[in-house]
Amino acid sequence: MILCLFTWAAAQSVMLQGVLRDPAGRTVENGTHSVTFTLYDAASGGNEIWSETHGSVTTEHGVFSVELGTVNSMSSLTFTDDYWVGIAVDGGSEISQRMRLVNSPAANAVKGATNSFPSTGNVGVGTTSPGSLLELSSASPYLRFTDTDGGSVWTLGNEGTSRLTLNEVANGTTSERLVVQEGGNVGVGTGSPLARLHVQGSAYLSDRLQLMRTSGPNYLDFNNGNNLVLRSMDSTSSGSSIQEVMTVTPGGNVGIGTSTPSERLDVAGNLKLSAGGALIFPDNTSLTSASLGGSASSLSTPGNAIITADANVAGAGDVQFKTGNSTQMVVTNGGKVGIGTTAPDTKITVSDAAPYIKFHDTEGGNDWQLGSYGGFRFLLSEIYTGGSSERLSVAEGGNVGINNGSPDALLSVDANGNGDLINAHTSHTTDAKIFQVVQNNSDGLVKVNDANGNTSVQ
């Protein structure tokens, strides 16, 4: 008869203890015996699944202890099913009653070559000496979470690149959802976070988020009546004084020094541009100074309006007047004025398909117009109600016409059929004539009369 107590330490070996008795029930004498141990998958009959013989088992007062699996490996056994042990002593027949392999209290702990699952304490997977309640040790240790109700599978672990990743596995595709890098940077939507928190994509805040420094006065408040607010907190011996430094409204207005900005930028206080700064306008023009000390400046006062280019006397820079994207007038750095051109070559240059200067007398009378016309002529025209007349014409080549737009001689005078063509006076204040050139309406002849009216040439 054998009374046994079984325990095991791992799937690789099984500790077995018992008392060896003779057929009369007495414990055997102290000594050594050859014992064969066989595992079956049933209490009787069944299949033999493992066996080994220990040729020298020591007994003391009948008590013996052996470790099964030291002669023949037990690595093929899963220990997920029940096993029964058959025992034969000193080459005799196997004891008729097989004994079920059961756990001793210590057998609640399972320990293998690389794993440790104790009944209490730390659990190790891939390590037999876990340093925490659960420790996974491998080249790429991961925990896998599978919801039996459906949905995605999630994995959490270290992929071997000094990163802890939370991954979603859906439709055979693995996507990183959260990454913690060695050093502490956390990435959401990115595998390479560049800061303590790096979110690639949009983020939703249902309540206030405050970002504060462990030392220093400033923090950022992401929700204050729907506004984005930057605050400054000054710590004093009597407490903390919090001031709003900048506010951004949901509509996009930015307030500095005010919590209720009414424009895109509303500054309560002074605004300063540092060296190299400029105000850039929608047409891409810029203003670097509001005083006469910059390279381009303007100053408007109740008495004067001053526009300055090249205020630092660098020898470059023009004053340009524009409408839209077109330059209408320019004053060059050398003092030349161009109207319709950006490259005037005289003090005043007017450039157009028909360049004219108009003279308007506000006290009444007709207007006059001086300029060039498309027929290579320079004209002085009188503008009156209902039309205009060319009074003086200078054609290309030098011919001058009076009341004649197409002069065919150096001087061509048209009296329109009758009247004085030329009157020469002693002064502009008297009617006394030195001579006159007239055209007779009756015969069409042109006559030259002296001061007394006598015709000398006709």
Residue-level pLDDT at 1: 47
Put simply, whether the predicted model's pTM sits higher than 0.85 gets the answer no
Which residues, at least 6 apart from 434, have a Cβ–Cβ distance to it below 8 Å? 424, 425, 426, 451
Query: 344-391: per-residue pLDDT in tens?
Result: 999 999 988 888 888 888 888 889 888 887 667 888 888 888 888 888
Query: 256-271: per-residue pLDDT in tens?
Result: 988 889 999 999 988 8
Asked if 180 and 186 count as a contact pair (C-beta separation under 8 A), the reply is yes
Asked if 426 and 407 count as a contact pair (C-beta separation under 8 A), the reply is no
- CA angle centred on 26, ends 52 and 43, rounded to 5°: 40
Q: Torsions phi, psi of 106, nearest 5?
A: -75, -15
Sorted by where each begins, the domain ranges of the chain are 2-102, 138-203, 212-271, 344-447
Query: 204-243: per-residue pLDDT in tens?
Result: 777 666 666 666 555 666 555 678 887 776 555 444 566 7
167: which strand partners?
Answer: 155, 176
DSSP 21: B
Distances in Å between the alpha carbon of 378 and those of 340, 347, 405, 422?
18, 19, 10, 22
Residue-level pLDDT at 216: 58
**Judging by beta carbons within 10 Å of its beta carbon (0-12, 13-18, 19+), is residue 261 exposed, middle or buried?**
buried
**Dist CA 23 CA 57 (whole Å):** 19
**Dist CA 394 CA 376 (whole Å):** 9
Each residue's pLDDT expressed in tens, for the chain with a length of 458 residues: 455 545 454 446 788 888 888 888 888 889 999 999 999 999 999 999 999 999 999 999 889 999 999 999 888 887 767 889 999 999 999 988 888 876 554 444 555 567 766 657 788 888 888 889 888 888 888 898 988 888 889 999 987 678 899 999 988 888 889 999 988 999 998 888 888 889 888 887 776 666 666 665 556 665 556 788 877 765 554 445 667 788 888 889 999 988 889 999 999 988 888 887 888 877 777 777 665 444 555 555 566 777 777 777 788 888 888 888 888 999 998 899 999 999 999 999 998 888 888 888 888 888 988 888 766 788 888 888 888 888 888 888 888 888 877 888 888 877 665 455 565 555 555 555 555 555 555 554 555 555 565 655 55
**Dist CA 141 CA 218 (whole Å):** 41
Which tokens go with 149? 């109700």
Which tokens go with 88? 């034969």
Give the architecture-level CATH label for domain 2-102. Answer: Sandwich (2.60)
Residue-level pLDDT at 414: 76
Q: What does the DSSP assignment read for 34-91?
A: EEEEEEESSSSSS-EEEEEEEEEEEEBTTEEEEEETSSS--TT---SS--EEEEEETT
**Dist CA 90 CA 28 (whole Å):** 13
